[in-house]
Structure 1
Amino acid sequence: MMHTDTIVALATPAGAGAIAVIRLSGDEAISIASQLFHSVSGKNLEHQKSHTVHLGHIVDGNKTLDEVLATVFKNPNSYTGENVVEISCHGSSYIQQEIIQLCLRNGCRMAQPGEFTLRAFLNGKMDLSQAEAVADLISSDSAASHQLAIQQMRGGFSSEIKKLREELLNFASLIELELDFAEEDVEFANRDEFQKLISKIILVFKRLIDSFATGNVLKNGIPVAIVGEPNVGKSTLLNALLNEERAIVSDIAGTTRDTIEDEITLGGIGFRFIDTAGIRETTDTIEGLGIQKTFQKIEQAQVVIYLFDAEKFHHEVSGSGSKFKVEIETIKNKYPQKNLVIVANKIDKLSEWEIENLQKEIENLHLISAKTHTGVEGLQNKLLDFVNTGALRNNETIVTNSRHYDAMLKALEEIIKVQDGLDSNLSGDLLAIDIRQALHYFGEITGEISNDELLGNIFANFCIGK
């Protein structure tokens, strides 16, 4: 991938629309665009100021392709740090392709996925973690994931890492300097101050590493498994939560034989609901496979909704020997780390007295009628209570990227080695080795240390035109 030539791509989604934006970037972007663009006022784009918009026509020889607006951004004051022209044309797929082909014939090259943002990184317009946040922002589908991406794109995460890296680099330089005066036995780096910095870095990194669990679910959605016996209303509840007929509902037990998944946003947080096959003893091979998958989904879920038939509970069994209670305790014991919500369905078929007895039998019980939507909104609010959004509300730094998480784990490991070395009065030359390794992982996060393979993997996931 060359980074000196001029690239072009459609910056808006492919397909017909009201308008489309075609972006050019590179040293020759303005000169190439000026050859194709005829201003209605006779202006030459090359002689215009940066951040100006001009009305005119894109012309191919004697053929006018479209009336457009051309926006000029001159380096370094552009998204990529290069000369950039954005052509806003009518959204016909034919017009889009004709203009792009015309640009290609006049010296442009088609941009690779994420190449505009890659150039922004290479030209120092943003660091690597901010560049990655651009992709997260584009794919954000809830208020929480949007806020996390905006926070990272503004540099909230990387600025914290950079500041710590600079302080560590300063001490590393002093220790390296001590090695040059080893024979004179001088100490330039104050060990007490260095110990304070190392303790501070460890504290910050542990907080950031712990935040990944929250960040990951806020970014990707919180998986919620709906489990229970057959025919207790799991599919009806899924449909009620989604407010659409997503799952097949039937009085026949064992209708759901595979997992059904769908997503919804509640209170700005994405939830991924999983309707599972009913848990019971069965000789049906297909249903049995579905039940196996149910337990797999429970393993993957962060929240488990155990749903049972309130009417069946009341009429069949009561007291401490209830099979429903046994199943609840089994799930609690098998998955002690899971957030469990115990839900009684079909309460519309019970009297007030029967409901009161039910609540006495099972603690922290949530009552609903999925069929009539009674209690469904309350259940949604209960699910939101499980989400730790305190850090998000307080605008704290939250890690959402697995690459950053992995680099921080490695950096923390090296920093702990440095701390152990300080505690045992390790010599400066050995301390310097661990410090250099820690600095390496710090730099990997923000891109101060990178390679072509790493950049290729990151930007390959971007859309073309960004």
Structure 2
Amino acid sequence: MIHQDTIVALATPSGAGAIAIIRLSGKEAITITDGCFKSVLNKKTLSSQKTHTIHLGHIVDGIKTIDEVLVSVFKNPNSYTGEDVVEVSCHGSNYIQQEIIQLFLRKGCRMATAGEFTLRAFLNGKLDLSQAEAVADLISSDNEASHQIAMQQMRGGFSSEIAKLREELLNFASLIELELDFAEEDVEFADRTQFKTLVDRIILVLKRLIDSFSVGNVIKNGIPVAIVGEPNVGKSTLLNALLNEERAIVSDIAGTTRDTIEDELSIGGIGFRFIDTAGIRDTKDVVESIGIKKTFEKIEQAQVVLFLVDGCQLAVDGKLDFLLVEINKTQNQYPQKALIVIINKKDLLSGETINTINTKLTTNNQQPTTIFISAKNNDGVDDLKNVLLSFVNTGALRNNDTIVTNSRHYDSLLKALEDIDKVKIGLETNLSGDLLAIDIRQALYHFGEITGQVTNDELLGNIFANFCIGK
């Protein structure tokens, strides 16, 4: 797994731009660049320069000048990868990028694979595995909350918490292992009372981290929100109002939306993915029927359902009672989903009508959150956003607590908790030291899986395959 060759890749997004950065890492990174670089200061070589310095010059291929560049030099071990690293900042022409990369390849570099720079940083001890994974999360973060969590983990917040637990557990494990060496003397080096206290504390921390995954997963992946209701109640208008753009076609013709329309919006730093669905009704139109079928599929996938109703229709006799039936049916069918009933066209309703609707809804035994809005006039949309945000527990985020967002970490934490629970039972039942040691070793193994103290090539391959090339 440890490679000694020199790798090269484009570190900025592919395509034309103002500038591009080409990164090299390895033992020959500076030497290879030196052979292609002509400084504006004659006889200046990169190998003789100090680390963390920038140099102006030209990349040349023989007598041919490819581009005027800035070359940044980072000497080992004080670099991102822990190796000699060179970054060439050139003009962002596709042609120039490829010419420089091809030149470095001819001079002895190899094209980097996905995530290989960060993999080398991990292998050279510059990052632990959870920090390396946070690099990928940081790159893909698309809202304030996911960015904040990735930054915290990349700085080692999660790693340090796990490392501290592992170290304390390892100390006790060493004492118990020592007892096994003196089994015939029947001595006890590990204080069982202190050990029980430690185990209880570890269980509390593990449960807190495991519980945080539900919040972390929402923050990382966003919350899918389905907008459902009958045709012409204002679903597409509401989507446009939420996004503040004409994303969906709005028409008085029933059945205009025949397929789902999705778009994302950040509210309070949390990503929400809104799904405008086809209006639910009985229809013989084949295409519209397919759209309605997709509506129910999207409800299944959503975590929050916005049940949109035309407030003007509620004035019709029996329509309000029918709404209550539909609300109860939806809640019974999807008990795990948050349901918000939105009464649209508030601007066309009298105060008396609003009070009547409120009174009727309040008597409903399964009263969900209800909001009156005018999607057309953007009235009440901010209230809706606040209600949506209330479904996310942002307390941990505000308090800067450690939040788990990675499913691999979550799985290892669950396994570690299972083994620690076995240790606790063993202590309570006075289990022998050799059997306690087995469960402790397993817990230590799962802690090590998170930070990379225990790993294998297959695991590393799976993790870094999801990185972008050049990082």
Q: TM-score range by the shorter chain?
A: over 0.9
In the alignment, structure 1 residue 451 sits paired with structure 2 residue 464:
no
Cα pair distance change 1:24/1:315, threshold 3 Å: same
- For 2:323, the equivalent position in structure 1 comes to 324
Task: State the Cα deviation string for residues 402-432 of structure 1 (Å, max 9, x = none).
Answer: 1100111111111111111111111111111
1:396 alignment partner AA: D
The structural deviation recorded for 1:45 is 0.4
In the alignment, structure 1 residue 299 sits paired with structure 2 residue 300:
yes
1:335 alignment partner AA: Y
Identical columns (%): 73
The structural deviation recorded for 1:365 is 2.5
Q: Distance in 2 between matches of 1:203 and 1:412?
A: 10
- For 2:392, the equivalent position in structure 1 comes to 387
2:200 alignment partner AA: S
Whether contact under 8 Å (2:135, 2:150) holds in the other structure is yes
In the alignment, structure 1 residue 371 sits paired with structure 2 residue 376:
yes
Task: State the Cα deviation string for residues 3-47 of structure 1 (Å, max 9, x = none).
Answer: 110000111111111111110100111111111111111211001
- For 1:408, the equivalent position in structure 2 comes to 413
Where does the alignment leave 5 or more consecutive residues of structure 2 unmatched? 363-368
- For 1:24, the equivalent position in structure 2 comes to 24
**SS of equivalent residue, structure 2 residue 309:** strand
Q: Distance in 2 between matches of 1:237 and 1:114?
A: 41
Superposition map of 1:1-40 within 5 A: 3-40=3-40
**SS of equivalent residue, structure 1 residue 72:** strand
Superposition map of 1:86-101 within 5 A: 86-101=87-102
Whether contact under 8 Å (2:313, 2:319) holds in the other structure is no
2:341 alignment partner AA: I
Out of 326-335 and 419-428, give the one that drifted further: 326-335
The structural deviation recorded for 1:381 is 1.8
- For 2:143, the equivalent position in structure 1 comes to 142
Whether contact under 8 Å (2:176, 2:190) holds in the other structure is yes
**SS of equivalent residue, structure 1 residue 225:** strand
2:429 pairs with 419, 424, 431, which one? 424
The structural deviation recorded for 1:284 is 4.3
Q: Distance in 2 between matches of 1:250 and 1:231?
A: 8
Out of 399-408 and 223-232, give the one that drifted further: 223-232
1:18 alignment partner AA: A
- For 2:443, the equivalent position in structure 1 comes to 438
The structural deviation recorded for 1:228 is 1.6
**SS of equivalent residue, structure 2 residue 35:** helix
Whether contact under 8 Å (2:224, 2:272) holds in the other structure is yes
- For 1:180, the equivalent position in structure 2 comes to 181
- For 1:348, the equivalent position in structure 2 comes to 347
Q: Distance in 1 between matches of 2:318 and 2:374?
A: 20
The structural deviation recorded for 1:258 is 3.0
In the alignment, structure 1 residue 79 sits paired with structure 2 residue 80:
yes
- For 1:130, the equivalent position in structure 2 comes to 131
Q: Distance in 1 between matches of 2:2 and 2:453?
A: 20
Task: State the Cα deviation string for residues 135-166 of structure 1 (Å, max 9, x = none).
Answer: 01001110011001101101111110011001
When normalised by structure 2's length, the TM-score is 0.95
Q: Distance in 1 between matches of 2:401 and 2:317?
A: 51
**SS of equivalent residue, structure 1 residue 362:** helix
Q: Distance in 2 between matches of 1:120 and 1:2?
A: 11
Q: Distance in 1 between matches of 2:193 and 2:174?
A: 16
2:135 alignment partner AA: V
1:423 alignment partner AA: E
In the alignment, structure 1 residue 337 sits paired with structure 2 residue 342:
no
Task: State the Cα deviation string for residues 240-275 of structure 1 (Å, max 9, x = none).
Answer: 111222223232333333322111112221110111
Cα pair distance change 1:417/1:289, threshold 3 Å: farther
Q: Distance in 2 between matches of 1:365 and 1:87?
A: 57
Whether contact under 8 Å (2:73, 2:85) holds in the other structure is yes
Q: How many residues align?
A: 464
- For 2:468, the equivalent position in structure 1 comes to 463
The structural deviation recorded for 1:213 is 0.5
Q: Distance in 2 between matches of 1:188 and 1:255?
A: 76
Out of 373-382 and 444-453, give the one that drifted further: 373-382
Q: Distance in 1 between matches of 2:141 and 2:128?
A: 20
Out of 268-277 and 163-172, give the one that drifted further: 268-277
The structural deviation recorded for 1:318 is 5.9
The structural deviation recorded for 1:285 is 4.6
- For 1:258, the equivalent position in structure 2 comes to 259
Where does the alignment leave 5 or more consecutive residues of structure 1 unmatched? none
Q: Distance in 1 between matches of 2:155 and 2:162?
A: 13
- For 1:189, the equivalent position in structure 2 comes to 190
- For 2:277, the equivalent position in structure 1 comes to 276
- For 1:361, the equivalent position in structure 2 comes to 360
1:427 alignment partner AA: S
1:140 alignment partner AA: S
